[in-house]
Amino acid sequence: MTMTRWALVLAGLTGATVAQANVPARPPAVIGRWANPRNTLAVQTGRCADGTLCGRIVWASPQARAEARNAGLPDLVGTQLLRGYHRNRAGIWVGRVFVPDMRRTFSSRIRQETPATLTISGCVVAGLLCKSQVWHRVA
């Protein structure tokens, strides 16, 4: 093989590597818009400033807004519900969840069951008492 042909082969391989390196990494599947089981809240998940996973309330029903106001939270929309989650292992995220009507934050785990569902658990007493909800993806 001539030097020119080798140079073309190497240039082609290098170009393919650079092109692959420039392809943005797919965001984790947990990023998106999710609704709680009663469809009274919608949360948009995404990256926090520190690179962890967070989620803010982007929509709330009138009933959910009233319950939050009664608990002393003036505006539910914009509240960061999911805080500082990091991937523990494939499909498991560990962080903290804020419960607006209790005005408390609990240790939490998110497991993506299917592309369209998340199970979000909040725990008290060192993880001994936990409550889970299955949230669904919103288009």
- Per-residue pLDDT tens for 45-98? 999 999 999 999 999 999 999 999 999 999 999 999 999 999 987 679 999 999
Q: Is the pLDDT of residue 20 over 90?
A: no
Q: In percent, how much of the chain has pLDDT > 70?
A: 77
pTM, whole model, 2 decimals?
A: 0.76
Query: For all residues of the chain together, what is the average pLDDT?
Result: 82
* CATH entry 3.40.1550.10 includes domain 28-137: no
Tokens of 86: 């990091």
Task: Report the Cα 53 to chain-centroid distance in Å.
Answer: 5
What gap in Å lies between CA 92 and CA 88, rounded to an integer? 5
Domain definitions of the chain by residue range: 28-137
Q: Is the pLDDT of residue 2 over 50?
A: no
Average pLDDT of span 25-50: 89
